[in-house]
Structure 1
Amino acid sequence: MNTTLHQDSNTRYRGKTAVITGGTIGMGLATAQALLAGGARVILTGRNPKNLEAARHALGPQAQVLASDAASLADIDALAATARETLGHVDLLHINAGIATLEPFEQVTEAGYDRAFAINTKGAFFTVQKLAPLMKPGASIVFTSSIADEGGMHGMGVYSATKAALRSFASGFAAELVGRGIRVNVVSPGFIDTPTLGVADATPAERAEFVRLGDQITPMRRHGSAEEVARAVLFLAFDATFTTGARLTVDGGLGQNLSPAHD
């Protein structure tokens, strides 16, 4: 083994700090694990008690795992205070918390509509507002959106609208923060193999159909992994130093109108 490369991989993010909302499972957890493996200090948030405890057990003392509702301004204030006290500054703010519900527009309720926008857009906006003062020149914000943030998909009207709004917020933040040396970018995943497949309230049968559909319509004929999304997030966060206001798709070609040959 090349020991130099091994050492570099263990120290790549040494001295870096990160806050990840929605970081206890899936893509957020994979991003936290990569950062911790590289020597960073990380705060991550979630709401599910079981996932919070599992993340604390898996990640160890370099990670601070907080129970926090992305839709609660009081919780966002508490997150900012914790970051200020324990990290001092934030090099990466990864806005990953989000919810998705598959339902035709006729079935959407006011409560469901409000909850989706509260978490996916309002929470994202105010998390940036409260944590940006802790970010210095060279810091980065990365939003997790979705390939559903453009175009139309059956049963995903509200979700898609929240993600389109998130992309717009990211563009606005990029313009407002560029003068402070803070970059803002978006990663838009396609079908990704996570515990919930992005739809927490789906039934096992619905998830199985989601897997089948994703493998069928994705040009690369498979789902992506959480680790593949994490690598894209970290690329935008630390390597793409002349990139801001951009959207990077991690979708196996799904959003690129590719027409691969069939077997």
Structure 2
Amino acid sequence: MTKYARRRAVVVGEAGGIGLAIAKRLVEGGASVLLAARTAETRALAVTELGSAARVVAPSAVAEVLAGGTAPRTGTGGHDRPGLRADLLFADAIPTARPLLPYVEDGGAIVLTSPTPCPDAVRALAAELAARGIRVNAVAPGCIEAPGSGAVPLPPLGRLGAAEEVARAALFLATEATFTTGARLPVDGGLARP
């Protein structure tokens, strides 16, 4: 499948669960992915899951890799040339995304994946980047099944969601919703109220 061929994506924030699910879908679709993972264990798991189409680094190395530095490689994907720019950025929150904004191509997309993205902050960042043609949106996951999580109340749909379902929504906002910016999409089984 080559749905995301020639796409260059950076996934930062939490590499387990949602971040890894986003990276997997991108890699399966032919994208080149740079994924930040906090622990050595998480990085090793991500390399196993993603293969050579992704480069997996510690969060502290992302900006260095994008700037063309020599951060150690974990994967062997196509991130070898200096001065890399991504057209897709997936970040857990605005403070995580902000330092990487110079590396997002004009006309690209940013999707925030925090359970509680402030709608006003999302709209403000979208307005700030509109002149560059960069769309900024957010998914707001809730009631997502996590390994080892305890019992939680079920949302109206009667089941917990999966990280894969959040990934699909994030990818929709990043690649298909080309006339959408400043939006916050709840992915919570109907738990959120308007």
So what's the TM-score if we normalise by structure 2? Answer: 0.86
Deviation at 1:174, TM superposition (A): 0.4
Distance 1:175 1:51, change over 3 A: same
Q: How far apart, in 1, do the equivalents of 2:121 and 2:103 lie?
A: 19
Across the aligned residues of Structure 1 and Structure 2, the Cα RMSD in angstroms comes to 1.8
Q: How far apart, in 1, do the equivalents of 2:105 and 2:86 lie?
A: 8
Report if aligned partners of 1:23, 1:32 keep a CA contact under 8 Å in 2. no
Could you tell me which of 124, 147, 151 is aligned with 1:209?
Answer: 151
Deviation at 1:23, TM superposition (A): 4.9
The secondary structure found in structure 1 opposite 2:151 is helix
Runs of 4+ with >3 A deviation = none
Report if aligned partners of 1:25, 1:195 keep a CA contact under 8 Å in 2. no
Q: Does 1:236 find its partner at 2:178?
A: no
Q: Which residue of 2 aligns with 1:13?
A: 4
The secondary structure found in structure 1 opposite 2:136 is strand
Q: How far apart, in 2, do the equivalents of 1:54 and 1:92 lie?
A: 22
Report the count of equivalent residues. Answer: 181
Distance 1:84 1:11, change over 3 A: farther
The secondary structure found in structure 1 opposite 2:110 is strand
Q: How far apart, in 2, do the equivalents of 1:141 and 1:182 lie?
A: 7
List runs of 5+ in structure 1 lacking aligned partners.
Answer: 1-9, 69-74, 97-119, 150-162, 197-206, 258-263
Once the two structures are superposed, residues 118-139 of structure 1 have per-residue CA deviations (whole angstroms, 9 ceiling, x without a partner) of xx5xxx42x4333222222320
Could you tell me which of 87, 90, 107 is aligned with 1:94?
Answer: 90
Q: How far apart, in 1, do the equivalents of 2:180 and 2:147 lie?
A: 31
Taking the TM superposition and a 5 Å limit, the aligned residue runs for 1:101-116 are none
Report if aligned partners of 1:23, 1:44 keep a CA contact under 8 Å in 2. no
Q: Does 1:135 find its partner at 2:77?
A: no
Q: How far apart, in 2, do the equivalents of 1:247 and 1:79 lie?
A: 26
So what's the TM-score if we normalise by structure 1? Answer: 0.64
Q: Which residue of 1 aligns with 2:71?
A: none
Taking the TM superposition and a 5 Å limit, the aligned residue runs for 1:161-172 are 163-164=117-118, 167-172=119-124
Tell me which protein shows more strand as a share of its residues.
Answer: 2
Residue identity in the other structure for 2:101: A
Taking the TM superposition and a 5 Å limit, the aligned residue runs for 1:1-263 are 10-68=1-59, 75=60, 78-85=61-68, 86=79, 88-96=84-92, 124-125=94-95, 127-146=96-115, 149=116, 163-164=117-118, 167-195=119-147, 207-210=149-152, 213=153, 215=154, 218-256=155-193
Residue identity in the other structure for 1:133: P
Report if aligned partners of 2:145, 2:161 keep a CA contact under 8 Å in 1. yes
Q: Which residue of 2 aligns with 1:202?
A: none
Report if aligned partners of 1:17, 1:89 keep a CA contact under 8 Å in 2. yes
Residue identity in the other structure for 2:114: S
* Bigger radius of gyration: 1
Residue identity in the other structure for 1:145: S
Q: How far apart, in 1, do the equivalents of 2:3 and 2:14 lie?
A: 20
